[in-house]
Amino acid sequence: MTSPDVVDDLEAEQDQLEALLRKLSPADWVSPSAAAGWTVADVVLHLAQSEEMVPAALSGVSLELPAQGGSVDEVMDALVRSQPATPAEIFERWRAARRASVAALRGADPQRPVQWVATPLKPRTLATTRLAEHWAHALDVATPFGLDYPDTMRLRHIAWLGHSTLPYAFGLAGEPAGEVFAELAAPDSSVWRFGDPAAPSSITGSAGAFCRVGARRLAPADSGLRAQGPHAESALRLLRNYA
């Protein structure tokens, strides 16, 4: 399961993203990101909007989302389109939202699940999903400008999330879930293991690649990950770090 410092790591991930955003020019903010159809400003606005939902969800308030659009992606795109603002306004909105989100997560009852998008989550799992989303969108910001966004040991939370939600991913696709063991090389060259080593299927390779596949920022065929057993290739195809 996730370690007790996941909220600290979420804050650290947000700090790293903020440092990246401060490097950008005004023109960069309105340039395309690596998230299809979104500028950098759109990406950060989405993060601000979703962080604002965290304290609301933790306090029991129902999330109010635009009615149009069927998928989560379509709903979130509609929400971004509905609230245009200047890059400076968006940046300050996200900074305020991230601080409020972290504070709410720190003060939440760790055993009390809250409704979040598609499913109830305990606060620390919610923090893990927020870390995963900030990391993935940081890649969307950094990639078009050739900026470095190095992998850190915080990826352990994201790898755990992707592996632990594989049954959900299989179910979402209408496919029978198979037990999969993952053995991943961490950024510091240590090894992270998830699942039962005796499982009939296994995935081995880079933790960074595993997380990128789960974020749909890297195709399984280009990941260098090794899939063995009856369910491993399907697991890589369905792997997801998000709702």
Q: Give the confidence band of 2 by pLDDT, cuts at 50, 70, 90.
A: very low
Report which DSSP code applies to 179: -
* Encoded tokens for 66: 């635009």
Q: What is the CATH number of the domain that holds 201?
A: 3.30.1050
Q: What is the C-alpha separation between 30 and 39, in angstroms, rounded?
A: 5
| Structural domain of 194 | 155-238
Q: Please indicate, yes or no, if residue 122 is contained in any of the structural domains.
A: yes
What residues have CB less than 8 Å from 39, skipping those under 6 apart?
29, 30, 31, 32, 33
How many structural domains is the chain composed of? 2
Give me the numbers of helices (H) and strands (E) for the chain, helices first please.
10, 6
Residues 82 and 11 in one domain: yes
Expressed in angstroms, the distance from the first to the final Cα of the chain is 18
Report which DSSP code applies to 175: -
* pLDDT one-digit tens code per residue, 18-29: 999 999 999 999
Residue 3 has a pLDDT of: 46
Residues 133 and 230 in one domain: no
* pLDDT one-digit tens code per residue, 62-111: 766 655 556 888 889 999 999 999 999 999 999 999 999 999 999 999 99
* pLDDT one-digit tens code per residue, 139-169: 999 999 999 999 999 999 999 999 999 999 9
